[in-house]
């Protein structure tokens, strides 16, 4: 693992935690909601295709590819797996120590013929993990 890859994953996880914190606070502040908004996240790694996609009169600058599809599917699985955060195994391998706090599981992912190894946790575990990196 390169230090740069580890830094990217750490920043990605910190961003997911920030999004969760802001969403939770926002839900409490909006009277019509009155409760923390629930957020689930998935992190995958790989090479997407990036660029203007579409026809001449309707183009969007976006990313597509297997890495994006799998991340989308993992986020959808998070709830049924009982996790707020799901990491694909290659992302887990990039993590700095301590990694033992994440739950290892196998799951079928739509579009994949074999079960995929995943690691999951709640945001409270992620928060402790990120804090331990700075100790």
pLDDT-above-70 percentage for the chain: 96
Superfamily classification of domain 3-51+60-133: Nucleotide cyclase, GGDEF domain (3.30.70.1230)
Regions of the chain short of the pLDDT cut 50: none
What's residue 117's pLDDT?
92
What's residue 2's pLDDT?
65
CB 37 within 8 A of CB 27: yes
Q: Could you tell me which residues come within 8 angstroms of residue 110 by beta carbon, excluding any fewer than 6 positions away?
A: 73
What's residue 102's pLDDT?
87
Distant-in-sequence contacts of 16-20, Cβ < 8 A, 24+ apart: 16/41, 16/43, 16/85, 16/123, 16/126, 17/123, 17/126, 17/127, 17/130, 20/84, 20/123
What's residue 132's pLDDT?
87
The residue ranges of every structural domain in the chain are 3-51+60-133
What's residue 101's pLDDT?
78
């Amino acid at each position: 693992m390169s230090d740069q890859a580890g830094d990217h994953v750490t920043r990605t996880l910190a961003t997911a935690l920030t999004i969760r914190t802001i969403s939770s606070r926002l839900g409490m502040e909006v009277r019509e909601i009155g409760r923390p908004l629930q957020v689930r996240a998935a992190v995958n790694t790989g090479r997407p295709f990036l660029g203007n996609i579409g026809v001449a009169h309707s183009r969007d600058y976006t990313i597509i590819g297997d890495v994006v599809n799998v991340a989308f599917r993992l986020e959808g699985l998070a709830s049924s797996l009982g996790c707020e955060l799901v990491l694909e195994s290659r992302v887990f391998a990039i993590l700095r120590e301590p990694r033992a706090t994440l739950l290892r599981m196998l799951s079928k992912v739509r579009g994949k013929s074999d079960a995929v190894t995943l690691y999951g946790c709640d945001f409270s575990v992620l928060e402790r993990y990120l804090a331990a990196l700075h100790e």
